A and B are shown apart, each in its own frame.
Chain A
Amino acid sequence: MSIAVYVLVMAVVTYLIRMLPFTFFRKKLTSKFWLSFLHYIPYAVLSAMTIPAIFEATGSMVTAVVGTAVALVMAYFELPLIAVALGAAASAFIAGLFIK
């Protein structure tokens, strides 16, 4: 099968998943439960995506743990997103120099 078919199917399915609720859901929710649920969803999604996957992100558990710890501390002090991201990668890189 041509790669074009695969890519087209991937793209269309991914678009529909985003587009259908965004375009056709017009009601303003008033239920306290649903408002709270939607308020919590992003944090729950990001937390579940990050842990434990982050520990396998560098191919070395030690460097990944160092990067995670640095990111947690920097995030606690509310540094900008990009600073935290770079801090995680840089500290893991430096840790990698030591364990070799």
Chain B
Amino acid sequence: MKKEFLKGMSHGIPIMLGYLSVSFSFGIMAVGKGISPLWTSLISLTNLTSAGQAAGVDIIVAAGSLIEMILVQITINMRYSLMALSLSQKLDKRFTTPHRLAASYGITDEIFAVCAAQETPLTPAYMYGMILIATIGWVMGTVMGAVAGQLLPASVTSVMGLMLYGMFIAIVVPPCKKERGVLAVSLGAIAMSLLFKYVIKGIPSGFVIMICAVAASAVGAVLFPVQDEGGAS
């Protein structure tokens, strides 16, 4: 139990470092738009998501309606439902309902990606360790960005936005070398994403990600079915 928790914490360290920089820029952005540092930090603690928080801040600043807030959050964050569904397939028997209710809080892109790459069933302790470390990074980064962000030169803060994407690339590329299906699905998703960016414009970004991911994965599942349980990974 304790060993699993520590393992989760150590697997969470790269996520924490990535989150520090990304949430740092969120902190700068939200305070720059007029949200107080305290509320900015509370948004990070209660939401634990990047794109959804950025969109939420825009709605708060524009004094938008709650309906708009709900619809935007659903659209941007719906991908977490797919991730939750995917993770639900590899949970250890120890994952009882209270543990599921608690660990749901921490299903983010990065935590999902690291958990999905595990070969053994996921235990609650493992996920808690990872979520704890990642959340500390996310909230600490936000607090620092909100309080001290203006002190850093723009040349440094602007490139920090690349760290999260760099981490995504590091997750996707290695399996692309080993599995033709992953390579094809990733390239398909990128092609569609470019299409929505430059040709079919005007669809909210969260929605675009959903469409690209579902379509590319569905085609991939037909053309490159995974051989055995747990995938070819």
Q: Which of A41, A75, A84, A85 contacts B217 (CB 8 A)?
A: A41
Determine whether the beta carbon of B166 is less than 8 Å from that of A88. yes
Instruction: Point out the residue from A5, A41, A47, A67 that lies within 8 Å of B172, measured CB to CB.
Output: A47
Structural contact, A75 and B89, CB atoms closer than 8 A: no
Measured in the bound complex, the distance between the Cα atoms of B116 and A38 in whole Å is: 10
User: How distant is the Cα of A19 from the Cα of B77 in the complex, in angstroms?
Assistant: 12
What's the least CB distance linking A34 to chain B, in Å?
8
Whole-angstrom distance from the CB of B57 to the nearest CB of chain A? 9
Does more than half of chain A's interface fall in helix, strand or loop, or is it mixed? Answer: helix
Within 8 A of A (CB), among B196-233: 197-198, 205, 208-209, 212-214, 216-218, 220-222, 224-226, 229, 231-233
At the interface, yes or no: B74 with Cβ under 8 Å from chain A? yes
Determine the distance from Cα of A38 to Cα of B174 in the docked complex, in whole angstroms. Answer: 18
Mark out the residues of chain B between 123 and 181 whose CB falls within 8 Å of any chain A CB in the assembled complex. Answer: 155-156, 158-177, 181
Evaluate whether A96 and B162 lie within 8 angstroms (CB atoms) in the complex, with A36-B225, A84-B167 already known. no
Known A-B contacts A11-B46, A25-B85; A58 and B159 likewise in contact (beta carbons under 8 Å) = yes
In the complex, the answer to whether A50 meets B165 with C-beta atoms within 8 Å is: yes
Give the interface of A toward B (CB within 8 A). 1, 3, 5-7, 9-11, 13-15, 17-23, 25-26, 28-29, 32-54, 57-60, 63-64, 67-68, 71-72, 74-76, 78-90, 92-93, 96-97
